[in-house]
Amino acid sequence: MGGQSIITDAKHEGVSPVERLHALVAADMAATDRLIHTRMTSGVALIPDLARHLIDSGGKRLRPLLTLAAAKAGSYAGDHHVKLAAAVEFIHTATLLHDDVVDESALRRGKVSANLMWGNKPSVLVGDFLFSRAFQLMVETDNLAVLDILAGASAVIAEGEVMQLKSSNDLGVTEEHYLNVVSAKTAALFSAAAESGALLSGRGERYVSGMRAYGDNLGIAFQLVDDALDYSGRQALMGKTVGDDFREAKMTLPIILAHARARPEDKPFWKRVIETGNQTESDLDRAITLVEQTGSIQETMHRARAYADAAKAALTVLPSSDIKAALADIADFCVERAY
């Protein structure tokens, strides 16, 4: 689900729009960070130790940032948005921890995530702990509608992850199915983060649904770009990790398109590396070449741009403000970071 690379980019001098938005809600974000660290404590030391590993790993709190921004841009004057933002980050962290769980089949192939230094079971249980803490924080906001949105999003995220699991190694996966997975596993939390913050502000349904649509479209754009970057030769040259999805034989859009557009002589390659998962060391280079040759990265980015534009269009419900401008620029930046 990524989230790191959106913040800074050598090509964009100075301050990124994400940093600008951070600055606009700086006091609230500082309060959110303090709350996160207070509430992840436990008498059972392993829990904060493991949680800290993810929570302090340099992720840029993009989801809680949306919550704070949506509340603030709606002129919310209370302090429940801080609890809500911490809850959103806890849900995100819990999904990351659970995403790290390794299957027996993966283990048999000798593939153990670096994050798994504590083992599967502690990751699951600490995720459960953070998930529970998220709901405790939400209860403190005294707002059942907000609870409903985030409980619903959590169910949808789990559905999306299961859908993705089932679609690995399957060249028959359609673009539509892929977009359903992305909507569920990534966009649902972006959307709920923005919507629930907006709801707190009490500005009414038009504002709430606008922020929901912004989060939803931004989340999809964000994931499309992430999936494109995983096959980016340029990213590889810059020393960033590529090929994670490839090694897991995940059916992301670049692969769906590259396979659909493949020359007959390249079809057996895709069949071998994706369907049988039988990969050798040079296969990633060939995959990147084929994905680029077929224009699949470009097409994926083209789609991402359309979702980013839809995110910006959804912001028309907001009165003009620095926060609105930063949110719009984040949508652009989300796509531009790839070039």
Burial (0-12, 13-18, 19+ Cβ within 10 Å), 164 = buried
Cβ at position 108, least distance to a second copy in Å: 9
Packing angle of the helix pair 26-39, 62-73 (nearest 10 deg): 130
Cβ at position 197, least distance to a second copy in Å: 18
The Cα–Cα gap between 118 and 45 comes to: 13
8-state DSSP, 14:
S
Question: b/e for 81-90, b at 16 or more Cβ within 10 A?
Answer: bbbbbbbbbb
**Amino acid found at 41:** T
The Cα–Cα gap between 294 and 296 comes to: 5
Whichever of 135 and 270 has its CB closer to a second copy, that residue is 135
At residue 274, the 3 state secondary structure works out as helix
The Cα–Cα gap between 134 and 69 comes to: 19
Cβ at position 121, least distance to a second copy in Å: 5
The Cα–Cα gap between 43 and 51 comes to: 13
Cβ at position 189, least distance to a second copy in Å: 12
Is there a contact between 25 and 65 (Cβ–Cβ < 8 Å)? yes
Whichever of 7 and 139 has its CB closer to a second copy, that residue is 139
Cβ at position 107, least distance to a second copy in Å: 6
Whichever of 192 and 338 has its CB closer to a second copy, that residue is 192
Whichever of 139 and 284 has its CB closer to a second copy, that residue is 139
Cβ neighbours around 92 below 10 Å, total? 25
Whichever of 112 and 310 has its CB closer to a second copy, that residue is 112
Cβ at position 238, least distance to a second copy in Å: 31
Whichever of 1 and 139 has its CB closer to a second copy, that residue is 139
8-state DSSP, 170:
-
Whichever of 7 and 158 has its CB closer to a second copy, that residue is 158
Residues in the chain: 339
Enumerate binding residues for a second copy (CB under 8 A): 42-44, 46-47, 94-95, 98, 101-105, 107, 112, 116, 119-122, 124-129, 131-133, 135-136, 139, 142, 144, 147-148, 151-152, 154-155, 157-159, 161-163, 165-166
Cβ at position 120, least distance to a second copy in Å: 5
Cβ at position 100, least distance to a second copy in Å: 10
Burial (0-12, 13-18, 19+ Cβ within 10 Å), 79 = middle
Rounded to 5 degrees, φ, ψ at 325 are -60, -40
Whichever of 15 and 145 has its CB closer to a second copy, that residue is 145
Cβ at position 163, least distance to a second copy in Å: 5
Whichever of 77 and 162 has its CB closer to a second copy, that residue is 162
Cβ neighbours around 111 below 10 Å, total? 12
Cβ neighbours around 124 below 10 Å, total? 15
